[in-house]
Each structure stands twice: as structure tokens, then as C-alpha cells.
Structure 1
Amino acid sequence: MKSLIRKGWRPLLVLILLFIIWEITTRVLDIPSWLMPSPSEIWLEGVTSWASFTKHLSSTALLTVGGFMIGCSIGIGTAVGLHLLPRVREAIYPLMILSQNIPIIVLAPLLVIWFGFGLLPKMIVITLICFFPVAVSALDGFKQTNEEYIHYMKMAGATKGQLFRKVEWPHALPAIFSGLKISATYSVMGAVISEWLGAQKGIGVYMTLASSSFRTDRVFVSIFIIMLLSLLFFGSIVVLEKVFVKHRKEDE
């Protein structure tokens, strides 16, 4: 906590200075609020519209958590399977990389055509966004296991399953959590994109309605809430990482 306070004041100071410059610029240049609202106007709008905004926030948060858990579970499961089956990995891994070259914003309308406007296409969007970082990070973590430990376990007569559980999985945890942190930040963006497919509520819907009515202040409120939500998810993964990785180090 002390380390966070000691290191965190610098970016916080820069952020405050940016807001001050932003506020002064909008007032001096007399920029219309529909074009570029000042931070004070954005804050005021956020406070006054918070009651109506909470339902959109809760919808996006639930969608994000669900898609994140599904995508990361599939990513870790796929990484484990490909690691234990090298020949399958050689055939599948290039296809995984190619799949990431398809823009989600282009794939989203196709998902609506195939699966309708329900929950399924939205979950698929978030799952696709969260899947790849976790899968690739986990595979890299398995590969970076200390060869001396593996050699020692083989000499002790360990089976492939025991080798994975006792050595490869624990040593891959830091890499896996790196992928989880990336997916945690991307998952909120994926949820907002998925809500553009035709949801009835959510931050994505709120942003669409605000931009179509030139309520730029509400658009910025949505942007800041998305940023805070991403930081919250990221921080949660950091806390879990400290717990699990610390336990692994203590076991060693």
C-alpha cells in the first residue's frame, strides 16, 4: 500500500494538471459544451444523471464479468490442451493468430445475423477479446518453465500429469496473470462494443443515445466510467496475482 502511494502520486499529479489545463482552455476559448465540455461540466452531469446511469453501469459490469470468466476459462483450457498435445499445438496455434486479424467491429454484425440480438452474440464478442491474451500468455509461461526442475522431476519418475501440476503450472502463473490483466482491461471495451449490437441497456447504449443527441458531456461521463471500470477489474486481478503468486513462492 505504501509503495502504491509512493509511486501513484506522480501520475495523479499529471492527471490533475491535465484537467486544470482542460478546464482553463475551455473557459478561455469559450468552447461550446456540445463540442468540448469542461471537466466541471462533465462532473456535474455525472452527479446529476448518476441515478439513471446506474442501471447501464450494472448491466455492463455483469456482462463484462460473465464474458471475462468464460473467455479466460476457455483460453486457459485451450492453452493447457495445446501444451500437453504438441502436435495439436503446431496445427492450431497459427490459426489462433490468424483469428486475431479479424476486426471485432466487423465480426459483430455477423454474430447478430447468426445468433440474433440476445445475450449470446454479446458473450461471444467478449469471449473472443479475452481468449487470445490469456491463451498465448499461458502457453509462453508453460514453455518458460525451468528445464532443471523438469529434468529433476523426470529423474524422480514423475508422470506427465504430475510434471504439469507440480512444476509447469505453478511456474506459468505469473505469465497467466499477465494475460488475465490484459484481458481484464479489454473485457470492458468488448462489453461496450457488444452493447452496440442492439442491447436495451448498458454503457454502450448510453453512449450511443448521448452522441446521437449531441450530449457530449454524457459521452465523456461514459468514457471516464469505462476507464474506472477497467482499472477496477485490472486492480482485482493484481490483488489475486499477489495472493496466488505469493503462495507459490512461499511453497518453494
Structure 2
Amino acid sequence: MLLWGLASRSGIPHFLLPSPLAVAEALWVNRAYLGWHTLITLSEILSGLALGVTLGVTLALGMILSPRLQRWLMPLVLTSQAIPVFALAPLLVLWLGFGMSAKVAMAVLVIFFPVTSAFFDGLRRVNQEYLDLARSMNASFGAQLRHVRLMAALPALGSGLRMAAAVAPIGAIIGEWVGSAEGLGYVMLNANARLQTDICFAALFILVLLTLLLWLAVDTLLHRLIDWSPE
């Protein structure tokens, strides 16, 4: 913050680097405007997070239950990550329109992979001794899945959820950049076009704060739910 303040006083034009005080003033003066667009982006992020986590968990369970399904799904999952998100954004806007659906879909694309990867890895790397013990007690495959694999994979799922919370805003913001008339991504683009850099910085500050709060909320919830794990 000190370096930022010094840099803003070193002769750099205000429209290139506003001072921290100017950004704080922009936050206060435009609080209603920024608040409304923050709610829009937050709703997109939370919707994308819920759908992305659901999709990721479903894919991981499907692949662990069916090796044949795994052989079909894994290449598709990897392909979805090989294509740059920016390349898919215009297509999603074209298919789903300029409303909320395209932004949520972008968030889902960014979120589901870390959840799928982490949870599938956790389900696959269960201590063999636990599985042998369950089999010695005549536990069915379903019972082994519920009471052994799922319980052992919860810490891995927690890691995937933390990653998902950290990257969730990326998809929503990219979607807003490509085509939107609301949300923090729209605010940043609009402010940048008008050389209102202080508002652009204010929107960026809110976005960073949202990401930190979302990660902390997920981390706190996970610690309460799986505080028994070695993690």
C-alpha cells in the first residue's frame, strides 16, 4: 500500500495509476452502483460454484464406479481444460445469450475440473488395508464406497473445493468481459473505456475481497465438517 501511494505521487498520470485515497473515495461515492454490480457477480459466482461442484463430484463418482465410463469421460474432461477459457466465452454468449446463464456456464467450466480431479484422485487412492478390512466383513461395493472410499476422499475433495472457491470468480468475470451489461467485469470494462481508473481499481478491489471471503468461508466450513482428517 505504501509503495502504491508513493508510486501514485511520482508523477504517473492519475488515469494510469490512481492513488489509494482516490480508489477509497471511488468506493464510497459509487457504493450503490458498485454494490448492485457486486451482487450480480456474486450471484453468478455462487451459482457457478454450486453447479460446478455438483458436476465435479458426479463425474468423479461416475468414473470411480465405471472404468468404462472413465475411459470415455477422462479425455473429454481433459479436452475441456485444453481449450482456453477466452476461446469458449464468445461461443457460450452466442449460445446462451447475454444474460446470467453464459456467465454461470463459464464459472462451471473453470470450477468443475479441480473438483473432479481432486475427488477422483482421493477416491482412487484409498488405503488398501481399509478396503481389505471392509471386504473381510462382507461389505458390499456400495457400503465400501459410502463408508470407506467417500470418507477417505473427503480431505481430497476439500482441497478441490478450496481451489474451486479461488478460481470461481475467473469464469464469471471473463463472461462479463465478453458480453454483459452488468457485473463487476462490466464495471471494469466501462470504467476503463472512460479512463475512470479509480472505479476500475475499486471494482478490482471488491473482486479480490469477494474471492478471499469465499475461500475463507469454504475453508472454515471444511474445517468444521472434516476436522478429524489428517489435513
Q: List gaps (5 residues or longer) in structure 2.
A: none
Moved over 3 A (4+): none
Is the Cα contact below 8 Å between 1:170 and 1:248 reproduced in 2? Answer: no
Measured in 2, the distance between the counterparts of 1:231 and 1:124 equals 22
Measured in 2, the distance between the counterparts of 1:68 and 1:202 equals 17
The one-letter amino acid of 2:19's match is S
Q: List gaps (5 residues or longer) in structure 1.
A: 1-18
Deviation at 1:197, TM superposition (A): 3.5
The one-letter amino acid of 1:23's match is G
Is the Cα contact below 8 Å between 2:38 and 2:183 reproduced in 1? Answer: yes
Show the counterpart of 1:25.
7
Measured in 2, the distance between the counterparts of 1:61 and 1:209 equals 19
Show the counterpart of 1:174.
155
Aligned residues: percent identity? 34
Q: Map 1:73-84 to 2 at 5 A.
A: 73-84=54-65
Deviation at 1:87, TM superposition (A): 2.1
The one-letter amino acid of 1:26's match is S
1:174-212 superposed Cα distances (whole Å, 9 cap, x missing partner): 111111111111111211111224322110111111000
The one-letter amino acid of 1:102's match is I
Show the counterpart of 2:138.
157
Show the counterpart of 1:228.
209
What is the DSSP-based 3-state SS (H/G/I as helix, E as strand, rest coil) of the residue aligned with 1:72? helix
The one-letter amino acid of 2:219's match is V
TM-score norm. by structure 2 comes to 0.95
The one-letter amino acid of 1:156's match is M
1:9-40 superposed Cα distances (whole Å, 9 cap, x missing partner): xxxxxxxxxx112212221x222110111212
Pick from 93, 105, 110: which aligns with 2:86? 105
User: CA, structure 1 residues 198+167, in 2 after alignment: closer, same or farther (shift >3 Å)?
Assistant: same
Equivalent residue pairs, number = 230
Measured in 1, the distance between the counterparts of 2:72 and 2:179 equals 36
TM-score norm. by structure 1 comes to 0.87
User: Aligned-pair RMSD on alpha carbons?
Assistant: 1.4
Show the counterpart of 2:17.
36
Is the Cα contact below 8 Å between 2:165 and 2:211 reproduced in 1? Answer: yes
Show the counterpart of 1:63.
44
Measured in 1, the distance between the counterparts of 2:177 and 2:207 equals 15
